[in-house]
Structure 1
């Protein structure tokens, strides 16, 4: 029972991790970054990116922790 619940949590955290990684903005803007205004760097997008980073790292820790627990067979 516990193993099946943790398996579903593991699958859910994996799906949410994929979604959160895909939501990140690309670091390199390429040639389009040259035409961007300098004032746009200091908006709320920076705090949104920091929050998204925190969510991604948390989901990664949950995913990897559950992968170790489920693969080691510690639950029976």
Structure 2
């Protein structure tokens, strides 16, 4: 499942640079995550880096984009050209 940033976001700028897929960008009011690019860091790290670094705990799983671990890994492989 992709992640989503909720309106509790304080725009602290720490999540964007740690995203290995460049899925996080500045939105109109808060940062946003592109679900087409978010793999929850599967293939890169053991845990989502944005969730680890977020000081206000505002990055839950996005219920509108459910994906299994296998689907996230397949997305990672598509995005990185990995096997």
User: TM-score per shorter chain, which class?
Assistant: under 0.3
* TM-score for both structures, normalised by structure 2: 0.23
Q: Identify, as 1 or 2, the structure richer in strand.
A: 2
Q: Rg: which structure is higher?
A: 1
TM-score normalised by length of structure 1: 0.25
